[in-house]
Amino acid sequence: MDMDFIFALAAGPPQQHLGPACESAGDGAAVEALASAGPHLLIAAHRDGRARAYGVPSRTSL
C-alpha cells in the first residue's frame, strides 16, 4: 500500500492538508503507513488493506 492510496482516502475538504506522518519498515508491523489529516486526525493504512481514521487529542504530539 503506498502513500498515494492514503492521500486518496482523505482527499477533499476538510482534509486538504494531508501529509505523511511516518511509514513502517518492519515486515511484522500491522500498520503500513500513517498520515496526518489536520491537527486532530490521523489515518492508518493497515497491511491487510483496511484504513482507519483516529481522532487525536489536542494535547498529543506525534
Residue 14 lies in a domain: yes
Could you give the number of structural domains in the chain? 1
pLDDT of 40 > 60? The answer is: yes
pLDDT at 15: 44
Could you give the CA distance from residue 30 to residue 54 in angstroms, rounded to a whole number?
15
pLDDT at 14: 44
pLDDT at 4: 57
Residue 62 lies in a domain: no
Residue 30 lies in a domain: yes
pLDDT of 17 > 50? The answer is: no
Q: Which three cell numbers stand for residue 4?
A: 498515494
pTM of the model: 0.41
Residue 15 lies in a domain: yes
Query: Sign of the C-alpha dihedral, residues 3, 12, 16, 37?
Result: negative
Note whether 43 and 55 are within 8 A (CB): no
Residue 50: CA atoms inside 13 Å, Cβ hemisphere, count? 7
